[in-house]
Amino acid sequence: MINRLLVRVGCLVAVAILSAVLALVQPLPAAAQGRGVSLIRDAEIEATIRAYAEPVFKAAGLDAAAIKVHLVNDNRINAFVTPGMNMFINTGLLIRADTPNQVIGVIAHETGHIAGGHLVRIQDEMRNATIENILAMIAGIGAGVATGNPGVGIGTMALGQNVALRNILKYSRTQEASADQAGMGFLDDTHQSSRGMLEFFEKLESQMLLNTESQDPYLQTHPLTRDRVDSVQQHVDHSPYSDAKDPPALIEMHQRMLAKLKGFLWPLDQVMVAYPKTDTSQPARYARAIALFRVSRLKESLILMDSLLKESPDDPFFLEQKGQILFQNGRLADALPLYQRAVELKPQEALLRQELGQVQLETEDQRYVKPAVANLEFAAGMQSNDPGVWRLLAIAYGRDNQIGLSQLAQAQEAMASGDKKEARLQARRAVKILPSGSPGWMQAQDIISAAGGPDGDDDE
């Protein structure tokens, strides 16, 4: 759900706004599709990717909770990793994946790069960088990115062209082969097939004869050779797990993820072709409900969501989606219980807690201020690099008359956005208000130290 997004960057292309539940209110402009990228946050899709990735991360001996997977709103096929345990996956890759196993194969390969220490070349360039700064660095635009009111769970940042990506993240053929071997080992260890990795390579092979500018970025940064394809084929021919099937639960999650992405990212007429009215499956109705919501056909959208909830009344993401549709149309009283129920069903989902917190604030009912604080504190603890959650928490603290903590949350927001000057300013304001030696006071001191820089006119 969103209200609006404010972005301060240089030389940027406008992008469509997405909410915590990936709520595109309008189709993504063609210019943005071709020239820029954005990050999106969505509780359901992130839960799906976690279900795919966590077994692979654990097989690699990595702390699954420490690896942050980011969804890039870009129609091209791409995925990459950066220092700081960050993995980025394009929506274009997800939409083109026919099975969960194909996405899992990509994740296994990228995990091979992390486990193999292939990120040394960019360690210095990206050390201590925020996600915004990492992407800005990759894009080569040198612009700071800061979000305003991102709405519920928003994580959208506009960026310029990503030409530098090919140079910064390009791996050698040796590293690629090493990541393939590691990834296939992780898949074997989790009793999963490497066939999806092979199928993904086959998708890329069709682009080999295209000129560089026409190829998807993944092919440009991950050089594909016949030896690599043959090696994966040989593994598939001999692995005892090559015929392992995706569990039905993962297949259902994948179909819903595709429906949601297409419903939000594709024009309505394209969605209706992919999911015609004659298709009464849950994914088809889900996609149509979202697409109709985007073009303000509220009644039709709600009829479809009600049909889904009649079949699955305790599905937290169906509840969330209907709640978003109502919230976006000003029906806060109707939306609130849906978000509350979604959080009851998935209390550990930080984005759901963040969404509920904002809806509680938007009611402007003082009874909901303390519950909003609790929900947003939980969300901030789980996703401290999201400027949006800190901004909401600053508002909640302010309404609860906790002014010192409100200033501290504003400092955290600035730090998450890469604005160290503003972070120092807000942290110093917090220090003047918070009790000396209190946890908040110490956090503010830590921010002042981390923000660094000499004292100047930004101080009060």
Rounded to whole angstroms, the Cα distance separating 359 from 194 reads 43
- Residue 270: its pLDDT value, please? 98
Q: How far apart are CA 326 and CA 336, in angstroms?
A: 9
pLDDT for the residue numbered 119 = 73
Query: What's the pLDDT tens digit per position in 335-366?
Result: 999 999 999 999 999 999 999 999 999 999 99
Determine the pLDDT at residue 33: 32
pLDDT at 100 over 80: yes
- For 46-59, write each residue's pLDDT tens digit: 999 999 999 999 99
Model confidence band, residue 84 (pLDDT cutoffs 50, 70, 90): confident
CB 352 within 8 Å of CB 343: yes
- C-alpha distances (whole Å) from 180 to each of 60, 232, 243 are 13, 7, 19
**What confidence score (pLDDT) does residue 364 get?**
95
Start-end of H helices in 275-315: 282-294, 298-311
Q: Residue 74 has what pLDDT?
A: 87
Given a contact cutoff of 8 angstroms between Cβ atoms, the answer to whether 133 and 143 are in contact is no
User: How distant is the alpha carbon of residue 302 from its chain centre?
Assistant: 26
Domains located in the chain, CATH noted? 30-238 (3.30.2010.10), 402-460 (no CATH)
Written as six digits, the tokens of 436 are 């000396």
Confidence of residue 3 (pLDDT cuts 50, 70, 90): very low
Looking at per-residue pLDDT, the higher value among 413 and 452 belongs to: 413
pLDDT at 127: 59
Q: What is the mean pLDDT of residues 426-454?
A: 92
Q: Which two tokens stand for residue 144?
A: 């700071």
- Alpha-carbon torsion angle 337, 340, 341, 344, nearest 10: -160
Cα–Cα distance measured from residue 377 to residue 228, given in angstroms and rounded to the nearest whole number: 47
- 319 has pLDDT over 50: yes
Would you say 346 and 50 are in contact if contact means Cβ atoms under 8 Å apart?
A: no
Per-residue pLDDT, 121: 60
Amino acid identity of 43? A
Do β-strands 86-90 and 68-72 pair in parallel, antiparallel, or remain unpaired? Answer: parallel
Per-residue model confidence (pLDDT) at position 397 = 98
Other CB atoms within a 10 A radius of the CB of residue 435 amount to 9
367 pLDDT higher than 50: yes
CB 40 within 8 A of CB 18: yes
Beta bridge partners of 70: 88
For 196-211, write each residue's pLDDT tens digit: 999 999 988 887 766 6
pLDDT of residue 125: 55
Q: Tell me, what's the pLDDT at 132?
A: 63
Between these two residues, 127 and 341, which has the higher pLDDT value? Answer: 341
CB-based contact 426:411 (threshold 8 Å): yes
Q: Give the count of alpha carbons within 13 A of 391, CB side only.
A: 19
Q: Is the pLDDT of residue 194 over 70?
A: yes
Cα–Cα dist 338/317, whole Å:
10
Q: Edge-to-edge strands of the sheet including 39-40?
A: 39-40, 68-72, 86-90, 79-82
Q: Compute how many other C-beta atoms are within 10 angstroms of the C-beta atom of residue 68.
A: 15
Give pLDDT, residue 140.
40
At residue 166, the pLDDT reads 53
The residue length of the chain stands at 460
Q: pTM for this one?
A: 0.83
Mean pLDDT of 135-162: 36
Those residues whose C-beta lies under 8 Å from the C-beta of residue 205, and which sit 6 or more positions away, are 224, 229
N- to C-terminal Cα distance for the chain? 36
- Average pLDDT over every residue of 64-73: 90
Grade residue 418 by pLDDT with cuts at 50, 70 and 90: confident
CA atoms of 428 and 356, how far apart (whole Å): 30
Render pLDDT for 292-309 as a digit per residue (tens, 0 to 9). 999 999 999 999 999 999
Mean pLDDT of the chain: 83
With bands split at pLDDT 50, 70 and 90, how would you rate the model's confidence at 135? Answer: low
Residue 36 reports pLDDT greater than 50: no
- Amino acid at residue number 236: V
Instruction: Could you list the beta-strand ranges (E) of 112-231.
Output: none
Q: What is the mean pLDDT of residues 72-84?
A: 86
Residue 16 — very low, low, confident or very high, per pLDDT cuts 50/70/90?
very low
Determine phi and psi for 61, rounding to 5 degrees.
75, 20
pLDDT value, residue 5: 26
| CA neighbours closer than 13 Å in the CB half-sphere of residue 6 | 6
**pLDDT tier for residue 123 given thresholds of 50, 70 and 90:** low
Q: Which residues, 6 or more positions from 390, have their beta carbon under 8 angstroms from its beta carbon?
A: 380, 409, 410, 412, 413, 416
pLDDT of the residue at 251: 98
Question: Residue 444 is encoded by which pair of tokens?
Answer: 């503010």
Which pair of tokens denotes residue 46?
A: 């992130």
